[in-house]
Structure 1
């Protein structure tokens, strides 16, 4: 028994008329009758009672119709799901992101993905820069947002956007947009900063902000999570420097952001040999989300 025989049988079982069934199935009636006869011989059961005027299902034929109909629907579903998985419209992808992406590109990327591909499952992990490349290497994640420029051939990157850094201060700090000139005015202040290795590009840029003004910050707390840093600044435990997109997640906190001249870039990164069919959709949508953010420049400037 093959799928074609099953289709022919179900067509006759629905019409209970060989001529009408043959017409709907685009087959001549003698050939249709021959296929039904071969099916009955193969399974050793009479499926239809026939006379010159009527065609009726036998009890065995009615049972066979009900069960084969379920199987056919299941097969059609499996076939369609297989096509969708192959095309990347169904599947799973594990995504790593820094905290700042929560306040810029990540929500837009997720919303656009769900709107276009609701059957794609995205597993999110907030992850520090130090750990992101390791997670990609070890297959802990499949794609990530990063501020690191990788020249490792194992990875591919795609620039999404750049944004300013900002000095983050408590709401009642004496510095404001009128009297703030540069971060050199904060040499005597305590700072709360991420703990970043000197070889990291992001770390070099961040520490270069202070180096340009001839001082090293007095760091009283380290945290690689922006939400933690914002709360510590709110409690007046120190100042910080963060990407300015954090401003959009801090409106309810007692902090203010003073824009700095230095900028940082955000990239999408993935394993160069990753064949996950979902990945091309994520790359395209992330780029479109970045373009949308650029049109709403308040996020990044």
Structure 2
């Protein structure tokens, strides 16, 4: 028994006429009759009652038709699902991101993914910059948003956009965009900054902000999570320097953002040899989502 014989059987069961069925199935009638006979012999049952004028299904033939039709539909569904999984329309992607991505590109990426690929499950993990590469290496995540450039060949990075750093101060702080002339005006202030190594890219960029001001910041609190930093600034426990995209989700907080001339970049990063079929969709959508961002608001 093979799929071809089953299709021949269904063709005859639908037409209840061997000549018409043979014509639709593009097979000569004697060959069709021979296939049906072989199928009956293999099953050990009579599927059709036939004489010179009429062809009709036996009770066993009716049952066999219904079950084979159901199985054929199930097989088509299986094939379709298999093709969708292969094409990345169904699947799972584990995404790591720093807090700043939530205030800029991440919501747009997730919205576009859901609209185009609603059957893809995106698992999110907010993760500090210094831990993201390790999470990729250990396969805890599949793709990440990062401000780090990796020179390791096992990873590939894609530049998404660059944005300004901003000095974050409490709402009633004495400095504002009109009176601000340089970060050195905050020489005596305490700062709330990420605890990162200064030999990584983001650390170098952040350190450069203060080097240009001619001083090293007095750090009163360390936190690698932007939302925590914003709350501490709001409580007047110190100032901070963050990517200006944090301003997007901070209107309800008692903080202000003063744009700095210094820039930072956001990249998409993934394992170079990763074969997850969802990954190309993420990369394409992330690139497209940048065009939907309003950098004037940053």
Query: Secondary structure of the residue that 1:298 maps to in structure 2?
Result: coil
1:96 and 1:132 in contact (8 A); partners too: yes
Say whether residues 1:160 and 2:160 are aligned partners: yes
Query: Secondary structure of the residue that 1:134 maps to in structure 2?
Result: helix
Greater alpha carbon shift after TM alignment, 79-88 vs 268-277: 79-88
* 1:241-287 residue CA offsets vs partner (Å, 9 max, x unmatched): 11111111111111111100000000111111111122112111111
By how many angstroms is 1:147 displaced?
0.2
Say whether residues 1:48 and 2:48 are aligned partners: yes
Map of 1:74 onto structure 2:
74
Query: Secondary structure of the residue that 1:262 maps to in structure 2?
Result: strand
Q: In 2, distance between residues paired with 1:80 and 1:299?
A: 43
1:47 and 1:57 in contact (8 A); partners too: yes
Query: Secondary structure of the residue that 1:151 maps to in structure 2?
Result: coil
Cα 1:251–1:18 change in 2 (3 A) is farther
1:129 and 1:147 in contact (8 A); partners too: yes
Map of 1:29 onto structure 2:
29
Query: Secondary structure of the residue that 2:213 maps to in structure 1?
Result: coil
Map of 1:227 onto structure 2:
227
By how many angstroms is 1:299 displaced?
4.2
1:155 and 1:269 in contact (8 A); partners too: yes
Q: In 2, distance between residues paired with 1:288 and 1:96?
A: 19
By how many angstroms is 1:54 displaced?
2.5
Query: Secondary structure of the residue that 2:81 maps to in structure 1?
Result: helix
Map of 2:137 onto structure 1:
137
By how many angstroms is 1:10 displaced?
2.0
Q: In 1, distance between residues paired with 2:39 and 2:32?
A: 11
Unaligned runs of 5+ in 2: none
Q: In 1, distance between residues paired with 2:285 and 2:156?
A: 16
Say whether residues 1:180 and 2:180 are aligned partners: yes
Query: Secondary structure of the residue that 2:20 maps to in structure 1?
Result: helix
CA-atom RMSD in angstroms: 1.5
By how many angstroms is 1:172 displaced?
1.4
Greater alpha carbon shift after TM alignment, 276-285 vs 258-267: 276-285
Say whether residues 1:89 and 2:113 are aligned partners: no
By how many angstroms is 1:25 displaced?
2.9
Query: Secondary structure of the residue that 1:220 maps to in structure 2?
Result: strand
Map of 2:122 onto structure 1:
122
Runs of 4+ residues over 4 Å off in structure 1: none
Map of 1:105 onto structure 2:
105
By how many angstroms is 1:298 displaced?
2.1
* 1:97-138 residue CA offsets vs partner (Å, 9 max, x unmatched): 111111111111111222222222211111111111001111
1:244 and 1:299 in contact (8 A); partners too: no
* Equivalenced residues, count: 298
Map of 2:191 onto structure 1:
191
Say whether residues 1:200 and 2:197 are aligned partners: no
Unaligned runs of 5+ in 1: none
Greater alpha carbon shift after TM alignment, 46-55 vs 151-160: 46-55
Q: In 2, distance between residues paired with 1:149 and 1:129?
A: 11
Q: Calculate the TM-score normalised by the size of structure 1.
A: 0.94
**Where does 1:236-247 land on structure 2 (aligned, <5 Å)?**
236-247=236-247
1:104 and 1:299 in contact (8 A); partners too: no
